[in-house]
Homo-oligomer: A and B are copies of this chain.
Amino acid sequence: MVCGAMIEIRPAVPADVATIRRLIVALAVYEREPDAVKATAEQLHAALFGARPVAEAVLALRDGVPVGLALFFTSFSTWEGRAGLYLEDLFVLPEARGQGIGKALLVHLAGIAVARDYARFEWQVLDWNTPAIGFYKALGATPRDEWTVMRVAGAALTTLAGTASPPA
C-alpha cells in the first residue's frame, strides 16, 4: 500500500475568504478568462458568512494546503417539497489533479445533501467536456439532456424588468 498526500475536506470559514478568491481567480486563469472574476473579497465574505448567506463553500486541503474548492447554494424542488444542493463551482488546482480530490469533494457534498435530507444534488457541465461527463456518470449522476438553461443578465435583465406588461 502506498500512502500519499493527506487530503482533508472541510467547510470554509471566514478566514478562508482570501484563499477562496485566489482559487476562483486560478480557475478563471485556467479557463483563459483571467478578467472574468469581478467578485471582491468583501462580496464573497457577505455571500458566504454575512447576516443572510446565499452560498456555502468547502475547501480541499492537501497536506494542509488549500488546493480545491466547491461553492454551492440551496435549491428547491417544488414537486418534492424539499431543498437541494446546487454546486456552482468545483475546482481543483491543475497541479493537484488526478488524486481523487474532485471526487472527494463531490462525495463530501453528497454527504451534506443526504444529511440535510435534500432531494437532489445538481451542477452544470460543458457539453463537450466528455471526460468530465463520463466521470460524473460513473459517480451516479444523470445528464438532464432534454433541458436547456435560459439566462437573462446585464442590460437584457434591466430591459425586461422595465418592460411594460399590459395583460389583456
Shortest Cβ distance from residue A118 to the other chain B in the assembled complex, whole angstroms? 8
CB of A161 within 8 A of CB of B76, answer no
A104 / chain B contacts, CB cutoff of 8 Å: 165, 167
Are B161 and A113 in contact (CB-based, < 8 A)? yes
Q: With a CB–CB cut-off of 8 A, which chain B residues contact A98?
A: 168
Give A159 to B140 CA distance when docked, in angstroms.
8
* Cβ contact within 8 Å between B151 and A122: yes
Which of B89, B126, B168 meets A100, CB within 8 Å?
A: B168
**CB-defined contacts of A126 to chain B, threshold 8 Å:** 146-148
Contact of A106 among B54, B82, B160, B167 (CB under 8 A): B160
Other A-B pairs beyond A24-B79, A38-B80, 9, CB < 8 Å: A36-B79, A71-B76, A73-B76, A100-B166, A106-B160, A118-B157, A122-B152, A123-B150, A126-B148
